[in-house]
Amino acid sequence: MERTLAILKPDCVRKALVGEVIRRIQEAGFVLRALRMQRLTRKEAEGFYAVHQGRPFFDELTAFMSSGPCVPMVLEKENAVEDFRALIGATDPAEAAEGTIRRAFADDKGQNIVHGSDSVANAAIEAAYFFCARELAPARD
């Protein structure tokens, strides 16, 4: 089984779409291993997105991610990273495939409802940013 980190971003929470997005995630076969609602400080958002520091969108991204509560979660499934990225769609909702979460709910490239890890290695690093090992529910049998 593979794990990935997902974050339902502040626009998802503000639009009251958390339940609908989680429903779609579970219907796609993902199992929730950890989940919480929290509000990132600007410093925490900058730490999480440090890989993007120096890029033109960094300040806007970290301001947005610290603008309201978000819902980080660890998801588990065979091929979790690739399957989740397919489920959420392209970063720009205008380019996302029909039926994807971003196509259905995102307003634009900057406020695109959900974050998904881009590799298994990054998923482990990102999950550890939000959750310690004891916070992860045991793997299913």
Positions marked active-site: 115
Distance, in Å, from the CA atom of 29 to the CA atom of 84, rounded to the nearest integer, reads 10
Distance, in Å, from the CA atom of 50 to the CA atom of 32, rounded to the nearest integer, reads 26
Quickly list H helices, 32-141: 42-48, 58-65, 80-88, 101-105, 120-130
